[in-house]
Structure 1
Amino acid sequence: MLILAGTPIGNLGDASARLLATLEAATVLAAEDTRVAHRLLAGLHILNRPRLVIVNEQTERGRAAELVHLAADGDLVLVTDAGMPTVSDPGYALVRACVDAGVTVSSVPGPSAVLTALAVSGLPTDRFVFDGFAPRRAGDRMRYLAAVAREPRTTVLFESPNRLAALLQAMAEAFDPQRRVVVCRELTKLYEEVRRGSAAELAEWAAGGVRGEIVVLVEGAPASVASLEDGLAAVQRLLATGTGMKQAAAEVAEATGLAKHDLYEAALAAKHR
């Protein structure tokens, strides 16, 4: 079978007894980075030295047939650099190939930065959406944040430390000032930090430079129906990214239920003031 093994996201003390036993028994270990896998085995005092094969975004699809054969012939254990395989990490293509080939897929559950951040955030946890990484390009990012601004569930996403300040500044422009945002840094590690506040407050903090693994969480939108004024503001944010007026009115109308004609006319009138 294929065994997806969740590994610690920072603190090796979070490794479960079952993970230790699985790694100790593994004959073939598929890893996102073999150097990280070697450090993991050494840090957990695993005496077993399994055969290591690389499975990353560049190699996963091309090696799928070989890896499926290994899983069918004997257990194949998959680990990524940290956390649960397939969750914003390699593994999905391999899981899909194993499922299609009739090979059993199982897991050794482990830590998840998504769920850990959600649990400590102080934001609603009953309904949430995980969005991976925000778009890098400014226009794409603002269009994405316009959608997040309307999302009623808590949104969880990853971001690199060098792009965090720009993301938070864009959030400050896209969100209501009262919208709560949380930044979790270095979860489970020695310098773990959880910052809570408005996007503008957190953008000011991040402008000084931030290091480490980052998870950002955004409070869901209130359930109240959007007013035409709110809709116009959303259209204008999209216009600022280079989106055409008709397209911006259509996107906001679809998201809010407001009439596209009313949004277009309001935006047109505001443009000629």
Structure 2
Amino acid sequence: MSRVELADGVVEGTVTVDGVEVRYFDSVADHSATGESSRGPIVLVHGTGGSTEAHYGYLFPLLAGRQRVVALDFARPVRTRAPLTLEQLEQQVVAVIEAVLPDRPVTLVGYSLGAVVAAAVAARHPGSVRNLVLVAGWMKTDAQQELRNQVWQRLREERSEALGEYMAFCAFSRPFLVAAQALGEFTPVLTAFHPDGFTDLQMELNRTIDISDLVPSIAATTLVIGCTHDQMVPKWHSKALFGSIPDARYTEIESGHAVVMERPAQLVQVISQFIEAPSRHAAGDVIATARP
């Protein structure tokens, strides 16, 4: 194992799943000396085209200050010509949990496509997931998402320079983009995404998502987080998850889909408050938007 720069003491390792190595990062420390070990470990699952660094670079160190945090980077399956399946990504998450945190129920946090994967893992492996946090996730792809995906695919096939602009337009909220432009930080926003062949497979998978039969069987204590200005996965998708999971509560953050970049501190605050007392709010509660 080698050390990485996500936070002090973080180590990197791999597990092999169906012939492919899946990389993970582990903060290791359980904070038992400070009385925080009762929070239990968190496992972070990133979204489409992302990675631990890209989607959780801000969140990982903040969360790791109070409990053990593990995050994984999805790996492209060996069968490169076959379509990517949700089950393959689920297997990678389960393999990391079983290898790093055996017999320890976790709080599973999923963002975007990672939320879809996390929900499926919670439904199929209830013994492994005590608490569940779904950020900007969805149950079933709708016509709006398919249209956005088709436009993305056409720009990608044409190698259009407009792809970065289109992705930024879809991912970030208007207030964030206006502020970025005013501060002279607009170019980094447009160049933050670097799609590759594995991203293409994930985008194809996004067009076929339907876990509506699985979601009602989730037994974990769940927090669903919607994003008020989300154009990629509009917040009604999060509300549909909230309404379908028996032990769920719901809150919103005033952000676009890229909440992990727009509002990382606020997102950490919301997740931390939930982890401190998952049942503080009853199932079915709509929690007022937290302020940083």
TM range (shorter): under 0.3
Q: Which entry has the higher C-alpha Rg, 1 or 2?
A: 1
TM-score where L is the length of structure 2: 0.24
